[in-house]
Amino acid sequence: GQSLEQPSEVTAVEGAIVQINCTYQTSGFYGLSWYQQHDGGAPTFLSYNALDGLEETGRFSSFLSRSDSYGYLLLQELQMKDSASYFCAVRHTGGGNKLTFGTGTQLKVEL
Amino acid sequence: DTGVSQNPRHKITKRGQNVTFRCDPISEHNRLYWYRQTLGQGPEFLTYFQNEAQLEKSRLLSDRFSAERPKGSFSTLEIQRTEQGDSAMYLCASSLVGQGALSYGYTFGSGTRLTVV
């Protein structure tokens, strides 16, 4: 079976740095993705890690450790517009680019 | 290209009725996915197509659910004899098979919110 664990809520202040962790258990792991979803909106692709290490895209970075079945999303210079839900998602082996999503982390950015 | 388009945005139906949703993916994307999302949860995989072929269906997808993608362009998801438990946001996404990390990202539509009363 597949399972992903993320904190349900994180609160941080504008301008700060926040890290959202994700641990996973899966029988066939190919890579880890991150998506952002604002209330009432569509999930938006942020990043994808297939190899160990850190991938940086602007203010957002994503890290993966395959040996620890662990990844995180790092958001720097937080802005109010970053308040949203963030989902990690496992891409499975076997083709298809099918994803299994975690239950999401609600990030609240405060002044 | 305006992205992934889903219609309708909202659908309220009585229990036992049939409903059909439509998804128009990004035109050059060859993979199309259907997911279901309930409040406070992440999207759950339902099915996916590569071009017109339906390659995988989740065990979540009962016999009341059917999806098609004629000619490999738009897709429809039909739910027959709706139940209250079918109330959810139905999300469509598309992606392009290819090299590089960006090709593994989905582009989601805004979803169809189904309420069964």
pLDDT 10s digits, B55-69 = 999 987 889 999 999
Note whether B110 contacts A: Cβ–Cβ < 8 A. Answer: yes
Residues of A in contact with B47 (CB under 8 A): none
pLDDT of residue B96: 83
Note whether A48 contacts B: Cβ–Cβ < 8 A. Answer: yes
Tell me if B33 and A98 make a contact (CB, 8 A cut-off): yes
The conformation of residue B40, written as its DSSP 8-state character, comes to T
Tell me if A98 and B31 make a contact (CB, 8 A cut-off): no
What count of residues does chain B have? 117
Task: Average the pLDDT over A15-37 and give the result.
Answer: 95
Neighbours of A8 (CB within 10 A): 11
Note whether A1 contacts B: Cβ–Cβ < 8 A. Answer: no
Strands A105-110 and A9-13: parallel
Query: Greater confidence, B103 or A89?
Result: A89
Residue A78's Cβ-side half-sphere holds a number of Cα atoms within 13 Å equal to 23
Q: Which backbone phi and psi does B95 adopt, to 5 degrees?
A: -150, 165
Instruction: For chain A, give the mean pLDDT.
Output: 94
First to last CA, chain B: 36
> Can you point out the beta strands (E) in B1-117?
5-7, 10-13, 19-24, 31-37, 44-50, 53-57, 65-68, 75-79, 88-95, 107-108, 112-116
Q: What percent of chain A has pLDDT over 70?
A: 98
Tell me if B101 and A102 make a contact (CB, 8 A cut-off): no
Strands B10-13 and B19-24: unpaired
Residue A105 forms beta bridges with which residues?
A86
Question: Which among A87, A88, A80 is positioned nearest to A108, based on CA atoms?
Answer: A80
Give the span between the Cα atoms of A23 and A3, in whole angstroms. 8
Note whether A87 contacts B: Cβ–Cβ < 8 A. Answer: yes
Give me the sign of the Cα torsion angle B4, B7, B10, B11.
Answer: negative
What residue has token string 């035109």? B27
Tell me if B108 and A43 make a contact (CB, 8 A cut-off): yes
Identify whether B25 is preceded by a cis peptide bond (ω within 30 of 0): no
Q: Is the pLDDT assigned to residue B97 strictly greater than 80?
A: no
Tell me if B48 and A96 make a contact (CB, 8 A cut-off): yes
